[in-house]
Amino acid sequence: MVENSNQMLSSRLSSFIREMLGDSSGIMALAGLTILIIFILMALFAPIIAPYSPVQPSGNPLSPPSWHHIMGTDNMGYDVFSRFIYGSRMALTIASVATLIAAGIGIPLGLVVGYFGGAVDRVITMIMDSVYTFPGLILAIAIAAVLGPGIINISLSIAVVYIPTYYRVIRSQVASVKNELYVESAYSIGAKTSTIIFKYILPNVLPSIIVVLSMNIADAIMTEAGLSFLGLGITPPTPDWGYDLANGQQFLISNDWWMAFFPGVAIILIVLGFSMFAEGLNEYFNPNIGEKR
């Protein structure tokens, strides 16, 4: 059984890659994936790649980009390029932790509530919809303001905002899948509820989960950058793009543009990576859900 499903997976994967290269959206997904792999490698091997320490002065403060400091130095004399590289650690960590928490709550809740329906469904859905329509960043700001700085606290603030995203996608998918014939037949031969949910329904909603996950990490990175731009993120001098950007703002007026410019480029690239990847996958799996983000 396991072997069988592995085989299916590998054949599905190879046909998937073949199809991806076939059209423009596939190429987009692979380009996104390439960007992501570069950033993940950057985060993993930051000490090897970065020319200097990100938290110790390595040159004169506020030097423009040069051969020694390809992105210049900031007001403390820290190398902007090294902080660019180390910053990917913070962005990826917080975005992944936040996304995992949000998915870890939103998906099971959506599965169970979507499967059983009824009054509980209506109440929880209403709560989720209310949170969903409320400005996410503002909610995250409020929670971060109460919780204070720190990786877990910031991740938690972001996670709360995105629980409804998972809940809504999964619940509506489950609600439509559960009436399909094969699920009903599984039910009629006496399969347990948990079996039905995990064996029959979950695999069917998995593609949407991957797409939403990827889109969501992009949004989470953006939110994290926003929070640290507002001074609600990680305590300095830990390298963090949003903080560096805010820090660079005060030196913009004297034309020391590199401090604010490069961290922004990092955010754009990584968000672009995730959203291109999500977009491509989305068009492959499910041509309908992407347009309404």
The residues near 152 (Cβ < 8 Å, ≥ 6 apart) are 97
CA atoms of 293 and 289, how far apart (whole Å): 8
How does 108-134 read in b/e, with b if 16+ C-beta sit within 10 Å?
A: ebbbbbbbeeeeebeebbeebeebbee
CB of 256 to another protein, least distance (A): 10
Which of 58/153 has CB closer to another protein?
Answer: 153
Q: How far is the CB of 141 from another protein (least distance, A)?
A: 7
Residues in the chain: 293
Smaller CB distance to another protein: residue 148 or 203?
Answer: 148
Cβ-based nearer residue to another protein, 8 or 268? 268
For another protein, the closer of residues 78 and 258 by Cβ is 258
Instruction: Answer whether the bond into residue 237 is a cis peptide, omega within 30°.
Output: yes
DSSP string, 166-177: HHHHHHHHHHHH
Question: Apex CA 192: angle with CA 191 and CA 195, to 5°?
Answer: 90
Residue closer to another protein by CB (options 183, 221) is: 221
Provide CB contacts within 8 A for 231, sequence distance 6+: 243, 246
The CB-of-167 to another protein minimum distance in angstroms stands at 14
Please say which residue, 102 or 177, places its beta carbon nearer to another protein: 102
Closest to another protein by CB, 54 vs 136, is 136
CA triplet 78, 82, 87: central angle to 5 degrees?
A: 105
Binding site for another protein (CB under 8 A): 126-127, 129-131, 133-139, 141-143, 145-148, 160, 218, 222, 225-226, 229-232, 242, 245-246, 248-249, 252-253, 255, 257, 260-261, 263-264, 267-269, 271-272, 275-276, 279, 291-293
Peptide bond into 135 cis (omega under 30): no
Question: What minimum distance in Å lies between the beta carbon of 236 and another protein?
Answer: 15
To the nearest whole angstrom, how small is the minimum distance from the Cβ of residue 219 to another protein? 10
CB atoms within 10 A of CB 269: 14
Q: Whole-number minimum distance, CB 78 to another protein, in Å?
A: 19
CA distances from residue 41 to 35, 49, 160, 248, 280 in whole angstroms, order as listed: 10, 10, 28, 26, 22
DSSP 8-state symbol, 77: -
| Min CB(48)–another protein separation in Å | 27
Report whether 88 contacts 266 (CB < 8 A): yes
131 versus 202: smaller Cβ distance to another protein: 131
Least Cβ distance, residue 143 to another protein (angstroms)? 6
116 alpha-carbon distance from chain centroid: 29
